[in-house]
Amino acid sequence: MEMQEANQGGGSEVSPNQTIYINNLNEKVKIDELKKSLNAVFSQFGKILEILAFKTLKHKGQAWVVFDNADSASTAIAKMNDFPFYDKNMRIQYAKTKSDVVAKADGTFVPREKRKRHEEKGGKKKKDHHHDSTQMGMATNSAYPGVYGAAPPLSQVPYPGGVKPNLPEAPAPPNNILFVQNLPHETTPMVLQMLFYQYQGFKEVRMVEAKPGIAFVEFADEMQSTVAMQGLQGFKIQQNQMLITYAKK
C-alpha cells in the first residue's frame, strides 16, 4: 500500500524557508541553461525572486531557488523532491539560511565580509570592499533582468515579438498528442517534460531540432491530454506563453 510519509520525524531537519536548496543536479548542464530550466520548472509553484547556481568546485550540482513565500517553497519540495531532471533525481530541501534578496527586503541584511577575515582590533570599521573574485572569468550569473516572476498572469501578454502561431481555422479534434507552440527557442525537452509529467497519462515529449519553438507531447489518451492542455494552456516560460492545441492526426 502506498502511504505518503509526512517528512517530519526524518533526518533532514531544516526549518521552512522561502528558499529551496537543490543538489544532485547534473553537473554537465551549463549554469545558464540550468537556471533557465529551473526557472521554467519551478515557476509553476509561485513567484521566483532569484535563482542562484555556481560552477565552482564546491558548488557544482547545486542551486538555490528563492520564492517570494515559504508556501511555494514547501509545495515545490513536496512535488519535485526526488524528481528526475537531466537524468538525475533532484534532491530538494529548504535552504539553511535566508537568502540575501530576502534579507534585503526584510531589512535584516548584514554584509558578510567580516566572516572572511579576522576582526581588526581597535575601533576602526572597514567598509571598503575591494572587489576581489571578479577576475575568475565566470561572469554569467546575474544575467537575468529580474524576469523570474513568470507564473501568474497567464493571459496578459500576447505573443512577444508579434510572432503569431499558426492557428488553424477550425480547432483540431481531440488527440492524445498535443502540439505546443510559441516556446522560447532555447526550451529543452527536459523542461517540457517536467511541466507535463505532472499530468496523468504523460508519455513523452518530442521536439524537432530543425524547428525550434514547437513540441509534441504525447499522452496515453485524449482525456488526459485534454486535462494537461487545460492545465498548462498559456503557461509562461521565460517571456513566452505556451500555446497548446491538439496535434493534427
Residues 96-125 that bind DNA (CB under 7 A): 96-101, 112
Residues 219-248 that bind DNA (CB under 7 A): none
Closest distance to DNA from the beta carbon of 45 (Å): 17
Residues 163-202 that bind DNA (CB under 7 A): none
Determine, following the binding rule CB under 7 A, whether residue 21 of this chain makes contact with DNA. yes
- Choose between 4 and 135: whose C-beta lies nearer to DNA: 135
Q: State how far the Cα of 15 lies from the Cα of 9, in Å rounded to an integer.
A: 13
Closest distance to DNA from the beta carbon of 7 (Å): 13
Going by the DSSP 8-state scheme, the letter that residue 135 receives in this structure is G
- Choose between 8 and 133: whose C-beta lies nearer to DNA: 133
Query: CB count, 10 Å around CB of 131?
Result: 6
Among 32, 33, 47, 61, binds DNA (CB under 7 A): 61
Q: State how far the Cα of 170 lies from the Cα of 65, in Å rounded to an integer.
A: 41
- Choose between 24 and 224: whose C-beta lies nearer to DNA: 24
Closest distance to DNA from the beta carbon of 103 (Å): 7
* Stretch of 18-26, 120-128, 160-168, 208-216 lying at the interface with DNA (CB under 7 A): 18-26
Torsion, Cα 52 53 57 62, to 10 degrees, reads 100
* Stretch of 74-82, 93-101, 160-168, 215-223 lying at the interface with DNA (CB under 7 A): 93-101
Among 7, 13, 16, 27, binds DNA (CB under 7 A): 27
- Choose between 100 and 222: whose C-beta lies nearer to DNA: 100
3-state secondary structure of 244: strand
Q: State how far the Cα of 224 lies from the Cα of 198, in Å rounded to an integer.
A: 11
* Stretch of 14-22, 185-193, 203-211, 225-233 lying at the interface with DNA (CB under 7 A): 14-22
Q: Treating both helix axes as pointing N-terminal to C-terminal, what angle do 70-80 and 31-42 enclose, rounded to 10 degrees?
A: 100
CB-CB contact of 40 with 195 (8 Å): yes
243 residue type, one letter = L
Closest distance to DNA from the beta carbon of 101 (Å): 6
Determine, following the binding rule CB under 7 A, whether residue 62 of this chain makes contact with DNA. yes
Q: State how far the Cα of 57 lies from the Cα of 73, in Å rounded to an integer.
A: 26
Q: Which residue has the cell 522561502?
A: 18
- Choose between 75 and 233: whose C-beta lies nearer to DNA: 75
Sign of CA dihedral 123, 128, 134, 139: positive
Determine, following the binding rule CB under 7 A, whether residue 24 of this chain makes contact with DNA. yes
CB-CB contact of 179 with 169 (8 Å): no
Q: Treating both helix axes as pointing N-terminal to C-terminal, what angle do 189-197 and 31-42 enclose, rounded to 10 degrees?
A: 20
In the complex, which residues of this chain contact DNA (CB under 7 A)?
14, 19, 21, 23-25, 27, 50, 52, 54, 56-62, 64, 66, 93-101, 112, 133-134, 136, 138-139, 141-142
